[in-house]
Amino acid sequence: MSEDLSEACGIFGAISTTKRDIFHQMYWGLLSLNHRGQQSYGFLTLQNRHFNKREDLNLIPTDPREVQKLASSLRGRMGISNARYATSGGTGSRHLQGGKQPLVVSSSGRKIALSYNGNIVNAHKLRTTLRKKLGRFKTDADTEVLAKQILLSLEQNSGDYKRAIAEVFDLVEGAYSAMLLDLQDESFYAFRDVRGIRPYCFGRKNDLYAFASETPALDINGITDYDYVSPGELVRVDSKGRISRAQIRKSRPAMCAFEFAYFSRPDSILNESRKPVYKIREEFARALSRTYKKKMKAIDLILSMPETADDSAYGLHEETGIPWERAVRKNRYVTRRAFISGKKERDDVIDKKVNIVSRLVRGKRLAVIEDSIVRGDTSKANIAKLNSAGAKSVDLFVTFPRITNPCLYGVDMATYDELIGARMEPEQIAKWIGADSVNFQTIEGLVESIGIKQDRLCLACVTGKYPSRMAQEMADRIRNQYSSELKSAACEKRVYERDF
């Protein structure tokens, strides 16, 4: 567990080729993706040329009465859904209400509903252009920018989806795994940005097509034979259940490497890797043990900061034979999102969230496995607890390399100011968090463990090399400002929301 980092969204869509309603499949599909967004949720179905929509803030409901209410108001055999965390726009209640997805927009007699996962890097600029052509925006979320750009591109290309999405690919920079329903042609469309930064899979079983951020949402619906929406691809499923695929643009892929270390479910199989995420996390630890062989010799006990580091801790234990104790436990009911709270509130939450079985760590030289370090305050709080429990030494091993640059593609670490890795060297970080040492994964170790070539991954947050031009320009400009006298105040705003 690092720091309750949040990601833009989880998406799920389903189409039945017979006449049955698909809410049931959508519900279980989206529920299995709730880890990707907990600020709001939304379901939308298409029924008799009409959209039914239900949405709210917070988690997807699990109370059977509420679920039943949703089911009875969401009839239809095609639907899309979304579990959202805001990486654009405000986080106050009004903004979150406005940012809920799926979003319905219409223009010139065409109505579409959009659900997407990612972040639009040039949303700020596109909004200004689109406002002139399509009028006022109702929300400050980048979903509306993407939806309106699609509408405009459809209008300018006589409703031809292939040409319109090609234009969207050319104009909209960023990460977007998207699904939309078109009311006019009663069809479902799935498309993914040209670099395929966020995951996107789909599959079919009997009369059901399902599209999702991650494969467990397909598994839960009995679909175990899955495929992936390729970067730059458009997939259409029409009202008769006919599927067509078109490779609209081709570019070098850049799948987010952080998905493997932190975001995705351990039982996900992400794109080209072809192996479950938890196996990759075990490999991360093996790579760490090779890099820090000498240090490992001085360790008595392995501990993992639950829960995303558990698989890595197991891998390290298997590789080195050093005992692994699960003596650090997380209270899953302390749910306030540390990342979006104020400092004092956040510190309280961190302190209450984790409990340590003191007698197991007393007098021991500990190797603590973390998935990542972003701000460092969670690690600091946990290490203080280990020290006060009587640990002899605490060496931190981090399965993801040092994060030195903001993410512009949908992970909410979009300022230099919040990144401890941008401000400090590993020795300084160790001192600040109270550890004896902090040992980060190497980029080579990470890439080798994932099993995808380095030039097909996004590693921008650890290398500073962004896979898209505008993102690189924005990050460079802010980095220059950051390294001069501007430091904190100027860098608090998300990089892609600044005026250039």
Task: Provide the annotated active-site residues.
Answer: 9
**Is 208 in a helix, a strand, or coil?**
strand
Q: In a 10 Å sphere around its CB, with 0-12 CB exposed, 13-18 middle and 19+ buried, how is residue 108 labelled?
A: exposed
CB 369 within 8 A of CB 302: yes
Length of the chain: 500
Kindly list the residues in this chain that would bind ligand SF4 in the complex (CB under 6 A): 197, 256-258, 407, 409, 411, 458-461
Q: Between residues 409 and 482, which has the closer beta carbon with respect to ligand SF4?
A: 409
Q: Where are the alpha helices (DSSP H) in 74-141?
A: 93-98, 123-134
Nearest to 177 by CA among 153, 197, 152: 197
Q: Do strands 187-192 and 174-182 pair parallel, antiparallel, or not at all (unpaired)?
A: antiparallel
CB of 263 to ligand SF4, least distance (A): 8
Nearest to 434 by CA among 493, 477, 388: 388
Task: Give the phi and the psi of residue 330 in degrees, each rounded to 5.
Answer: -105, 135
The strand pairing partners of 189, in sequence order, are: 180, 236
CB 254 within 8 A of CB 241: no
Cα–Cα distance measured from residue 466 to residue 405, given in angstroms and rounded to the nearest whole number: 10
Task: Give the phi and the psi of residue 114 in degrees, each rounded to 5.
Answer: -125, 140
* DSSP symbols for 45-72: EE-SS-EEEEEEESSPP--HHHHHHHHH
CB of 199 to ligand SF4, least distance (A): 11
CB of 403 to ligand SF4, least distance (A): 7
CB of 372 to ligand SF4, least distance (A): 9
Cα–Cα distance measured from residue 371 to residue 310, given in angstroms and rounded to the nearest whole number: 9
Cα–Cα distance measured from residue 490 to residue 151, given in angstroms and rounded to the nearest whole number: 35
CB of 26 to ligand SF4, least distance (A): 27
Cα–Cα distance measured from residue 312 to residue 242, given in angstroms and rounded to the nearest whole number: 42
CB of 254 to ligand SF4, least distance (A): 7
Cα–Cα distance measured from residue 42 to residue 13, given in angstroms and rounded to the nearest whole number: 11
Nearest to 141 by CA among 42, 70, 47, 2: 42
CB of 457 to ligand SF4, least distance (A): 7
CB of 166 to ligand SF4, least distance (A): 23
**Strands across the sheet with 365-370, in order?**
324-325, 301-304, 365-370, 393-398, 437-440
* DSSP symbols for 343-395: HHHHHHHHHHHEEE-HHHHTT-EEEEEES--SSSHHHHHHHHHHHHTT-SEEE
Q: Between residues 368 and 411, which has the closer beta carbon with respect to ligand SF4?
A: 411
Q: Between residues 193 and 282, which has the closer beta carbon with respect to ligand SF4?
A: 193
CB of 409 to ligand SF4, least distance (A): 4
* Secondary-structure breakdown of the chain: helix, strand, coil percentages, each rounded to the nearest 5: 40, 25, 40
